[in-house]
A and B are shown apart, each in its own frame.
Chain A
């Protein structure tokens, strides 16, 4: 056990810090759930890609810098320490990217990954359907094979980023006779294809964070299928593992929030201490953010020695989503009656974060589903 960064790791940290310091947008970007903000974020990510920091763990030839997971953690620390913008293309870079890396053909990787790294393409999720949310094997949208194309009909919902993105990845039923998780295929669909209708859904924060996507005889090439026909479930489960596991939520983000929470508490300590449980909440936030950081380095250590992240990824998802909620709840309680003032500069980010944190225990597989996964696959308890 040795927690000292090597000279190479320290050099990488210094390089990333200097680059971010020189290139960070001078004014905060607008929300990426608005057209203007989306384009601002896209420009920022293109700049990030120019510097080689868009996806540091990817191979160089695909737009990354071939860094290992410790370097990734280091980069994330520097990224969040300087309050760089949230990543608008995380669907692509964090979910689809690793999936293509593992299951994509050479042609698919070359076709999609460099464009993704530069944000030439922006990706939306196409998992959930009105009757297939937590019960994702209940997918009904059909992709019927017609020569070397699939013809897609059906509906997706809660498609994050779909309002402004130009591509969607998701699961479709390619074998009409199949049930549950059999007979599904993992397809990449251009959102400007004929027959697609997108209807935005307004989220708690008043913005178009996700959408319904309707497919009416939409044709996509079989070259857009990842993995074998009918094997989409296995591919998607790998993606879900990335989502819940290490990569979706780097610990630095929560450490930065915990730091801001401590600073907020110190500024308002006199009023906050009238409720003694607030100090306890601040302490808990800091402890859990640190624990999440340590657990991430501990997991990375095992992965670098050849281990694989399995159903334990579900404990991560529960932990960070509940931590995020707890931190923001504590901030709202510190702010007291001011917390509703949406235009107050000290309040705004906390309030936005508080609203978004409400979704954490729901998205990427609800925490109830994660608890079932832990019980069945880690503890070996019988299925319900």
Chain B
């Protein structure tokens, strides 16, 4: 029993963090938000140079083959810096999906080296998301689609052949597409029925952990921004951070973050080991991290005062990312329903010694 990260995991996290601190500064984020494209190709290239795009690609395809627990730490950094890219979807979630499907051998050979090199973008269509993020840029779309007969299928669609329109998001670096109307035929089908459902659930859980990690990273960033602001902003001749009411807002955010992180890490391990309670642990992580992020946003804007309601402060970019990720890969209703179901089963693991075993 050792619920800690090892030195290599922490060193990798720290190096990604240093890289993002330099390459994804708020000034760059703002530029990308304001110039309309929503993406910075040169940033993607730098990610590739740094090896970030190769982290979870198996070594046989030119990657590092990192596991889910390692990734939980990395996703916190992606959130902390609110990187203007749906990087996790391609290099973590889609990679995991391709690796899990035995029938996808030729797709792996075709796409994984490009993912590792940072040249290929993959988007995922899933029933829990009404819109597909970044599909307008995708070279490949992996689409879970419920067919007219009610049976779930997984299709691999070449991006070039798709009609895609990019819908704007309140998050200025995010673009969404509706693909669902486009009819599919058997020529693109990878899986059908039970096999597709199993992969769809695993994909949902992997993506949810990635989002949860980003949410807790966002919460930490909003806390740090708010603390900096509270320490330098003066009212009544004193820093507002000396006022108890302001302190208490920020202390509440600390507490929410402290008690969300271990839940995230536990969920990542459940995913990695494909444990029996995986779904409940993942939903718990998403709910805990979303609560931390939304608390950080609400308290953060309060601490920033009227400035918090302006476009100029950096806080807004992190707040908006947190707001949209709250409903990505299953909104709170979805995850509460899923958790509630697990909790009220007759054989639900409850009580001391039931959840760590």
What is A's interface to B at a CB cutoff of 8 Å? Answer: 1-6, 9, 13, 70, 74, 76-78, 80-81, 251-252, 255-256, 258-259, 262, 266, 279-280, 282-283, 286-288, 290-295, 297-298, 300-302, 305, 312, 314-315, 318-319, 368, 370-372, 374-376, 378-384
Contact = CB atoms under 8 A, between A and B. Distances in A.
Interface in B314-339: 336, 339
Which 7 A-B pairs rank lowest in CB-CB distance, beginning with the nearest?
A375-B247, A259-B351, A252-B352, A371-B251, A77-B352, A381-B241, A294-B262
B251 A283 contact: no
Contacts of B339: 283, 287
15 contacts: A2-B1, A74-B353, A76-B352, A81-B353, A252-B352, A255-B354, A291-B259, A294-B266, A315-B259, A318-B251, A370-B251, A371-B247, A374-B247, A375-B241, A382-B242
Nearest to A82: B352
Given A255-B351, A301-B4, A382-B231, A292 B259 contact: yes
A133 B351 CA distance: 35
B266 A384 contact: no
A379 B227 contact: yes
Interface of B: 1-6, 69, 223, 227, 230-231, 238-239, 241-244, 246-248, 250-252, 254-255, 258-263, 265-266, 269, 284, 287-288, 336, 339-340, 343-344, 348, 350-357
A81 B250 contact: no
Nearest to A295: B262
Contact of B356 (A80, A286, A293, A305): A293
B254 A379 contact: yes
Contact of B3 (A3, A80, A291, A315): A3
Contacts of A280: 336
A301 B255 CA distance: 19
Given A295-B258, A302-B4, 19 more contacts: A1-B2, A3-B266, A70-B1, A80-B352, A81-B353, A252-B353, A256-B351, A259-B352, A262-B343, A287-B287, A290-B263, A290-B284, A291-B263, A295-B259, A298-B3, A315-B251, A318-B255, A374-B250, A384-B244
Contacts of B351: 81, 255-256, 258-259
A192 B319 CA distance: 60
Nearest to A280: B336
A239 B261 CA distance: 27
Given A3-B3, A294-B266, A315 B344 contact: no
Contact of B239 (A287, A370, A382): A382
B237 to A, nearest CB: 12
Q: Which of B254, B265, B352 has the most CB of A within 10 A?
A: B352
Nearest to A5: B1
B344 A372 contact: no
A283 B260 CA distance: 15
Nearest to B268: A1
Contacts of B252: 371
A287 B212 CA distance: 15
Contacts of B223: 379
Contacts of B4: 1, 298, 301-302, 305
B75 to A, nearest CB: 15
Given A1-B2, A294-B266, A255 B343 contact: no
B216 to A, nearest CB: 12
Grouping DSSP codes into helix (H, G, I), strand (E, B) and loop, the B interface class, with mixed when no group exceeds half, is helix
Nearest to A257: B351
Contact of A372 (B244, B254, B263): B244
B352 A255 contact: yes
Contacts of B357: 5
A309 B248 CA distance: 21
Contact of A1 (B69, B250, B260): B69
A294 B356 CA distance: 9
Nearest to B348: A262
Contacts of B5: 1
Contact of A291 (B238, B260, B353): B260
Contact of B265 (A78, A258, A298): A298
A312 B262 contact: no
Contact of B2 (A2, A286, A315, A374): A2
Nearest to B344: A266
A1 B73 CA distance: 12
Given A301-B3, A301-B4, A381-B230, A283 B343 contact: yes
A315 B255 contact: yes
B65 to A, nearest CB: 17
B332 to A, nearest CB: 10
B282 to A, nearest CB: 13
B353 A301 contact: no
Contact of A258 (B248, B350, B356): B350
Contacts of A283: 336, 339-340, 343
A292 B258 CA distance: 10
A381 B231 contact: yes
Contacts of A297: 1, 3, 262, 356
Nearest to B226: A379
A291 B352 contact: no
A286 B5 CA distance: 26
A305 B2 CA distance: 10
Nearest to A2: B2
A371 B260 CA distance: 18
A376 B357 CA distance: 38
Contacts of B262: 291, 294-295, 297-298
Contacts of A290: 263, 284, 355
B350 A259 contact: yes
A375 B259 contact: no
Nearest to A300: B3
Contacts of B353: 13, 74, 77-78, 81, 252
A371 to B, nearest CB: 4
A319 B255 contact: yes
Nearest to A293: B355
Contacts of B355: 255, 290, 293
A48 B356 CA distance: 25
A287 B259 CA distance: 10
A315 to B, nearest CB: 4
Contact of A368 (B6, B243, B248, B356): B248
A293 B244 CA distance: 30
B352 A78 contact: yes
